[in-house]
Amino acid sequence: MTRIAACQLAPVPDDLAATAELTGDAVREAISEGADLVVLPALVTTGGVLSDPEAARAVAIAPGHGVFAAWAAACTARHGAVVVGGFCEAGDDGQLYNSAAVVDATGVRAVYRCAHLWDRERLVFAAGSAAPPVVETLHGRVGVVINYDLRFPEWTRTAALGGADVLAVPVAWPDAQPGEGGGPDGQLVAAATARLDRVAVVCADRSGPGWTGGSCVLSAGGQLLAAAGQGRSAAWADIDPEASRDKVVSGLSDLWLDRRPELYDRVTAPRS
Amino acid sequence: MTRIAACQLAPVPDDLAATAELTGDAVREAISEGADLVVLPALVTTGGVLSDPEAARAVAIAPGHGVFAAWAAACTARHGAVVVGGFCEAGDDGQLYNSAAVVDATGVRAVYRCAHLWDRERLVFAAGSAAPPVVETLHGRVGVVINYDLRFPEWTRTAALGGADVLAVPVAWPDAQPGEGGGPDGQLVAAATARLDRVAVVCADRSGPGWTGGSCVLSAGGQLLAAAGQGRSAAWADIDPEASRDKVVSGLSDLWLDRRPELYDRVTAPRS
């Protein structure tokens, strides 16, 4: 079994150092309490909503930044521990990305750049074009997508078909859009993703004013195993990564074998 | 607004005539009570579970069968009324299909053949390969998929991208598989489909022993507007087909424009 902590944090606006301390503490604490996989929110290394490119550039960091070294150091306390958390990436191409790092005791294992940017994020970030990574770990294969990516089943499918046992999803679900934001709504999409792809799904949301505190862990069957809610610091649950590898849902029914990709390829542009 | 009735029926095993009367009565009654769109369960024209090819062949019918003429006649009672219902199709190619007909006062408008066959259905039916139809009606564009198709987001996406305002889904959700069958589980997938594609979804389930009675209507936002439950004959709800055409979920976020099909095309085979 893999013990998961979806840590809900409220980053300190525009203060990289204070937020690095916050995330480092959260990761250390979660691992000391038994977490094998710790998931942190989207853009957790920075505060604010980053709707302004200049403000974002001021808090952008590269994968070599010390905050990831601190997460890696925390991972040494537990064999095979893994952390997935979002950050504002200063790309080597000069662009900014809404990214997530997969970190273990050996350092940064993978960086994923969000491919579907929410609302005004597109005014700040470039969209990634690489497929979601699926990282082999001692606690299962960890796939990563970010936030609004979750609304695109083609994309989460990519991670699941890539072999993910658990999908780690740093999110930031605003509470300002009833029916469109996070919390129960985001959790519905997360549950659907889990059920349709038969993968465990972990969403780590921000906490505090403006955010839904919707952090949650879903089983590979789509059952809500844990939800944090406002005022709680984490959602905890145990999942069985092996369960995600069995795509049989009835005697002869296998969600992977029953796909018909030769038919799906036709789908490209919507009808207006 | 479009008034929808998802009619829950228990077909009479192996008795085409009795079941035709049952479905004809249900359609007439629903339309007289104000339904613009009536959805009936999968394989509703026949009883049994059709796990045997010979038994299925005995109850297979062609789109010219009188049962569809009866549905069409019922539609004349209300301007623009539409019926979608499942049947065991005797294909002109000699094969059997798990099909659904879209019928209005003018007759059969479209026939769809299920592309994803559940469990032992594949021992009886050939799988269809044509995309889900999207039929222009006075009450919105009606897309059709059947039963297990709903578990393949690529496929429901095809119908939504094809312009469906409402997805009519004849289902038969067995109650024998907790966590995998219908009822709350099927409704979760239906709600996810509604939310991810921003289309209204109507599932009409069988009723009686062995079935979950999970008939439901979901708004284009994924909200459960109505659920029948066991012992009820229908789930009723009003939906606004126009709402499905607005794919904007936040200021700059549009679920259709934000898709990145050039990235999705890469996805074909799963990792073993």
> What is the share, in percent, of chain B residues with pLDDT greater than 70?
93
The pLDDT of residue B271: 65
A2-264 belongs to which homologous superfamily? Carbon-nitrogen hydrolase (3.60.110.10)
Q: Burial, A243: exposed, middle or buried (Cβ in 10 Å; 0-12, 13-18, 19+)?
A: middle
Q: How confident is the model at residue A90 (pLDDT cuts 50, 70, 90)?
A: very high
Is B263 an 8 Å CB contact of chain A?
yes
Q: How confident is the model at residue A52 (pLDDT cuts 50, 70, 90)?
A: confident
Smallest Cα distance from A77 to chain B, Å: 32
CB < 8 Å from A in window 187-216 of B: 188-189, 191-193, 195-196
Parse chain B into domains and list their residue ranges: 2-264
Residues of A in contact with B128 (CB under 8 A): none
Q: State ipTM.
A: 0.92
- Which tens digits make up the pLDDT trace of B151-201? 999 999 999 999 999 999 999 998 866 555 555 678 989 999 999 999 999
pLDDT of A59 higher than 90: yes
Is B185 an 8 Å CB contact of chain A?
yes
Is B166 an 8 Å CB contact of chain A?
no
Cα–Cα distance for residue pair A207/A221, rounded to 1 Å: 27
Asked if A153 lies within 8 A of B158 by C-beta distance, the reply is no
pLDDT of A266 higher than 80: no
In three-state form (DSSP H/G/I as H, E/B as E, the rest C), the secondary structure along chain B is CEEEEEECECCCCCCHHHHHHHHHHHHHHHHHCCCCEEECCCCCCCCCCCCCHHHHHHHCECCCCHHHHHHHHHHCCCCCCEEEEEEEEECCCCCEEEEEEEEECCEEEEEEECCCCCHHHHHCCCCCCCCCCEEEECCEEEEECCHHHHHCHHHHHHHHHCCCCEEEEECCCECCCCCCCCCHHHHHHHHHHHHHHCCEEEEECECCCCECCCCEEECCCCCEEEECCCCCCEEEEEECHHHHHCCEEECCEECCCCCCHHHHCCCCCCCC
Asked if A271 lies within 8 A of B177 by C-beta distance, the reply is no
pLDDT of A136 higher than 60: yes
Mean pLDDT throughout B98-113?
98
Asked if B270 lies within 8 A of A163 by C-beta distance, the reply is yes
The pLDDT of residue B52: 86
CA pseudo-torsion sign B122, B125, B128, B134? negative
Cα–Cα distance for residue pair B180/B174, rounded to 1 Å: 9
Q: Which residue has the tokens 């039929």?
A: B135
pLDDT of B27 higher than 90: yes
- Which tens digits make up the pLDDT trace of A198-253? 999 999 999 988 888 899 999 998 999 999 988 788 999 999 999 999 999 888 99
Residues of A in contact with B267 (CB under 8 A): 154, 157-158, 161, 261
Higher pLDDT, B263 or B270: B263
SS3 category, A195: helix
- Which tens digits make up the pLDDT trace of B211-268? 888 999 999 989 999 999 887 889 999 999 999 999 998 889 999 999 999 898 655 5
The pLDDT of residue A271: 65
pLDDT of A177 higher than 80: no
The pLDDT of residue A211: 86
Higher pLDDT, B50 or B255: B255
Is B270 an 8 Å CB contact of chain A?
yes
pLDDT of A180 higher than 60: no
If you average pLDDT over every residue of chain A, what do you get? 92
Q: How confident is the model at residue A267 (pLDDT cuts 50, 70, 90)?
A: low
